[in-house]
Amino acid sequence: MNIAIFASGAGSNAQKIIEHFRENKTIHVGLIVCNKPGAGVLKIAADNAIPVLLIEKERFFRGDAYVPEMNLHEIGFIVLAGFLWKIPDALIRAFPNKIINIHPALLPKYGGKGMYGMHVHEAVIASGDTESGITIHYVNEKYDDGEAIFQATCTIEPIDTPELLAQKIHRLEHQYFPAIVEKCIEKL
């Protein structure tokens, strides 16, 4: 089973997932898909000798959504780890219940369009909530809307800033995401 990781940022979650499956005999990270030339995740891919597919908007949204490349790399499961574009229907149809995303808050709160990265943590801190967390969920045609698979929480202290909260959330993501990816693949 080959996994494609879609990521457009620093790629720390991608790194953890790559490490998690490095010695795995049946599951491999076979492709990194990215829409941002220069993104940190591209160096992680190079360091780990994982092929990269740089995608562009027109073909992703109005073309074949790169399904032929997924087939070429024999991809059986897709993990979104800091990928901000909406997933087009063509890709969802090609991978039914085989695309998962990680969101840095406790959905259904703080989800939807525009709720990504530091925007999420700023909104959570501004709300006065005393906890936040992560949500791993299946991907459907709407932002942050598919069935939830897993949540983990952390407490927010009065001294926490959006930056400190972001660090806590990243720790939770790194702790749980790779194992949840593995569980979802085992269930297929």
Query: For binding to ligand GRF (CB under 6 A), which residues are involved?
Result: 7, 9-14, 81-82, 102-104, 169-170, 173
* Catalytic residue ranges: 103
Let me know: does 14 contact 44? Beta carbons within 8 Å.
Answer: yes
Cα 78 to its chain centre, rounded Å, is 9
64-90: burial string, b at 16+ Cβ within 10 Å, e else:
ebbbebbeebebbbbbbbbbeeebbeb
Q: CB-based burial of residue 39 (10 Å sphere; 0-12 exposed, 13-18 middle, 19+ buried)? A: buried
Is residue 182 within 8 Å of 27, Cβ to Cβ?
Answer: yes
Assigned token pair, 40:
């940190």
CB 154 within 8 A of CB 125: no
